[in-house]
Amino acid sequence: MNARARRLLWCGSAVVVVATTCWAMYREITTFGRPEGIQTGLDFANNTWRAVRALLSGADIYGPAHAVMAGIGPARPASQHVPGSLLWQAPFAALPLPAALFTYTSVSILAIWAGVFILTWPRDPSAVFLSACCGGFAICVGGGPMTLLLGQPTGFMLLGLAVLVRARRPWLAGLGFMLAASTIQTGLPLALALLPLGGWRVVWRGAVLALSCSLPVMGLEIANAGFSTFVHSFVVGGSVYLVRVNNRIDLGGLLHRVGGAGMGVQVAMGLVLASVALIFLARLPPHLRRISHPPVLSFVVAFMLVSAYHESYDLLLVGGAVVPAILVNDQSRAMLPAFGLAGTSAGISSSIAALFYAPLALLGIGVSSALALRHAAASDARTGAHPRGTGSGSGRAGAGRPAGGPPVAPGLLAE
């Protein structure tokens, strides 16, 4: 590659990053306070800004709320996220609501960019440009619009997942796990998936960090509302979401929307999916059993989202993790079906069609990733080779670690 081509790629990457960031912030600022189908800042205002302030003022944040927030409307009880997430989000609540929301959005955008580039770890200008385009897709189309407009922490979860994938130190990977597990419905499947991948050291460190951050929040809530009220509001209030339709993109949500499946059926379906996924991961050859391997990452993300309660904005984990991992780091024919399903499901995340298409697409991503892994394992068994690269082991020659991919053995898991 000549110098002129390299300069054009670097300039193109910079233009994509700047233009995407400016557009996302412009949309956030111009839609705040206006009646919209997706009320800008709704979840941030309720689950972070009001929750932190109410907690410090002695109120029960999971109980009925009667406040009215300017530019948002009536308040509602805080969602049952991991309590510790309120601790690292608390600094945003020190600002007035509009300034807090715009600051939170700008930091979320930076977290998405950081997550994409850490995950792909590009090593040449063409890979940097591809990564920038993937980040632009994630922010503008692939789950980013709903995440940023609502003020959900999914951008930080994407960053945490990227740190978890690339970190070499257990405590740093544990920090990534804590961020990725900001919501319970994401944290539990992720923890289960990491265990057969040899990630128990990361899981227990992440759990310790999450518990350490949660104890002050839980202590204040118990002091405000009482222990029994806290447990009832948190456990019962969280389970209520399983019998709501909302914008769910998990398989249980599809069954509930189409056939009226109750809570028991949804939980049973989640357990079945978890059992199948864990058995499959545990039976992989050791050299393929690492989350930095793109097919494994795609399988784990699909399993997380389809097996437990998730909404359309969580498709940012598909648009910001699965799509760039396959496009930049894998580039094999075996992962083309997963790439197509990931791109289309994330691309229509803001559409009502995603509520029906995304659960099936996530299942397809999981199945096609599993087939790619089985193909790689069978190919390695025939040749007697055990590559340690990040490609799927199939497709074009030299796909084990394509140009621009991260160094081999970039993470802790299964080492």
- What confidence tens digit (pLDDT) does each residue in 177-199 have? 999 999 988 999 999 999 999 99
The full 3-state SS of 381-398, as one line of letters, equals HHHCCCCCCCCCCCCCCC
The pLDDT of residue 239: 62
The pLDDT of residue 2: 86
- Can you list the positions of beta strands (E) in 9-88? 68-69, 73-74
pLDDT of residue 245 exceeding 60: no
The pLDDT of residue 252: 87
How many whole angstroms separate alpha carbon 154 and alpha carbon 170? 23
Instruction: Give Cα 368 to chain centroid, integer Å.
Output: 20
- The runs of H, that is alpha helices, within 291-413 are 294-307, 316-317, 323-324, 336-347, 354-383
Say how many residues make up the chain: 415
Q: How distant, in Å, are the alpha carbons of 108, 138, 180, 222, 298 from that of 112?
A: 6, 8, 12, 34, 17
pLDDT tier at 228, thresholds 50, 70, 90: confident
Angle subtended at Cα 210 by Cα 209 and Cα 216, rounded to the nearest 5 degrees: 100
Q: How distant, in Å, are the alpha carbons of 20, 140, 263, 354, 372 from that of 137?
A: 9, 5, 35, 16, 25
Over residues 207-227, mean pLDDT = 91
pLDDT of residue 160 exceeding 50: yes
Quick: pLDDT tens for 262-291: 778 888 888 999 999 999 999 999 989 999
How many whole angstroms separate alpha carbon 291 and alpha carbon 392? 12
How many whole angstroms separate alpha carbon 397 and alpha carbon 261? 47
The pLDDT of residue 214: 92
Under the phi-then-psi rule, with left for phi > 0, alpha for psi from -120 to 50, and beta for the rest, what region is 163?
alpha
Residue with the larger pLDDT of the pair 234 and 182:
182
Over residues 46-64, mean pLDDT = 86
Query: Percent of the chain at pLDDT above 70?
Result: 87
Quick: pLDDT tens for 328-350: 999 899 999 999 999 999 999 98
How many whole angstroms separate alpha carbon 184 and alpha carbon 309? 9
pLDDT of residue 38 exceeding 80: no
Over residues 44-52, mean pLDDT = 89
The pLDDT of residue 71: 64
Written as six digits, the tokens of 115 are 């997550």
Written as six digits, the tokens of 342 are 């990931």
Query: Percent of the chain at pLDDT above 90?
Result: 61
* Model pTM score: 0.90
pLDDT tier at 402, thresholds 50, 70, 90: very low
How many whole angstroms separate alpha carbon 3 and alpha carbon 99? 43
* Contact by Cβ (8 Å): 391, 399: yes
pLDDT of residue 261 exceeding 80: no
Nearest residue to 371 (alpha-carbon basis) of 298, 322, 320, 308: 298
The pLDDT of residue 9: 94
**For residue 49, how many other CB atoms are within 10 A of its CB?**
27
Q: How distant, in Å, are the alpha carbons of 147, 223, 273, 291 from that of 401?
A: 32, 54, 30, 15
pLDDT of residue 125 exceeding 90: yes
pLDDT of residue 14 exceeding 90: yes
Instruction: Give Cα 33 to chain centroid, integer Å.
Output: 27
SS3 content of the chain, % helix, strand, coil (to 5): 70, 0, 30
How many whole angstroms separate alpha carbon 364 and alpha carbon 305? 12
Over residues 366-395, mean pLDDT = 73
User: Average pLDDT over the chain, rounded to whole?
Assistant: 86
pLDDT tier at 237, thresholds 50, 70, 90: low
pLDDT tier at 241, thresholds 50, 70, 90: low
pLDDT of residue 366 exceeding 70: yes
Quick: pLDDT tens for 81-116: 888 999 999 999 999 999 999 999 999 999 999 999
Residue with the larger pLDDT of the pair 77 and 324:
324
- The runs of H, that is alpha helices, within 47-96 are 50-56, 85-89
Which has the minimum average pLDDT: 96-100, 120-124, 223-227, 229-233?
Answer: 229-233
